[in-house]
Amino acid sequence: MSKLQGKVAVVTGASKGIGAAIAKTLAKEGAAVVVNYASSRAGAEAVVAAIHAAGGRAIAVQGDVSQAAQAQGLIDAAVAEFGRLDVLVNNSGIYEFAALDAVTEAHYRRQFDVNVLGVLLTTQAAARHLGEGGSVITISSAVTHVHMPTAAVYAGTKGAVNALSGVLANELAPRKIRVNVVSPGFVVTEGTHTAGVVGSDLEAGLVAQTPLGRAGQPDDIAGVVAFLASDEARWLTGENITASGGIR
């Protein structure tokens, strides 16, 4: 039997990249999946279509997780459609790199609103429906310990996510809800292509520092998330798994 059979999962920011791979993998493992998107309806619907084509269940739901009403609406839509909620994957995130002299209030607020406030608001809404065995998994980043120049604000958001996830792991443990973090290293996605990282000297440098000798792929992260969502990880909470090919 598939490890997530009968479970319902919400994946935020799932219209492309790592989020899309996570949504497809959870569905392959038997979960009904809510594919959240902020602006790319076509991307989310393509993910849903792929899940349906493989025999799975999924719906696309629009919502800006940095807005409380929309975060709540996303969770409400999942429960209304599938009758329950078992897994939340906080994958929504944005990244903008800037040297210290170029950091602005807008640069800071854009990233903290989505990457940190969005995690809090969506987890708050989800926790009202998660029962014993529920799992919250948040996507952070290995940038918190690789310490790349120009990534101060983005790394700050992920450091905040790591800390708040540890707190929530303790806070939700009495209800037998697990909270864990996955921190990817460099992963080839639409976003890293658009940002010009793929094929650049930066990518070459990161791969050179990676013991396993290659860039990551979205499926490399999705498999770790599926494990944490399943009962196989029932004794894990408060953990931060670095999925980076060994880069430190």
Say how far apart CA 217 and CA 201 lie, in whole Å.
18
Whether the CB-CB separation of 33 and 61 falls below 8 Å is answered with: no
**What is the helix, strand, coil percentage profile of the chain, to 5?**
50, 15, 35
Prediction pTM value = 0.96
Domain count for the chain: 1
pLDDT of residue 1: 61
Compute φ and ψ for 204, nearest 5 degrees.
Answer: -60, -40
For residue 193, is it within any domain? no
Least Cα distance to 9 among 98, 111, 137 occurs for 137
Q: What is the pLDDT of residue 203?
A: 85
Instruction: Find the domain containing 23 and state its range.
Output: 8-186+217-243
Does residue 96 lie within any of the structural domains?
yes
Is 197 part of any domain?
no
Which token pair is 158?
């992920």
- Measured CA to CA, the distance from residue 207 to residue 55 in angstroms comes to 36
Identify the segments of the chain with pLDDT beneath 70: 1
Asked, for residue 199, whether it belongs to a domain, the answer is no
Cβ atoms of residues 40 and 16 within 8 Å? yes
Q: Which of 37, 95, 108, 154 does the annotation list as catalytic?
A: 154
In a domain, 19, yes or no: yes
Q: What is the pLDDT of residues 174-202, one digit of tens each?
A: 999 999 999 999 999 988 877 777 888 88
CATH number at 108 reads: 3.40.50.720
Indicate whether 143 belongs to any domain: yes
95 is annotated as an active-site residue: no
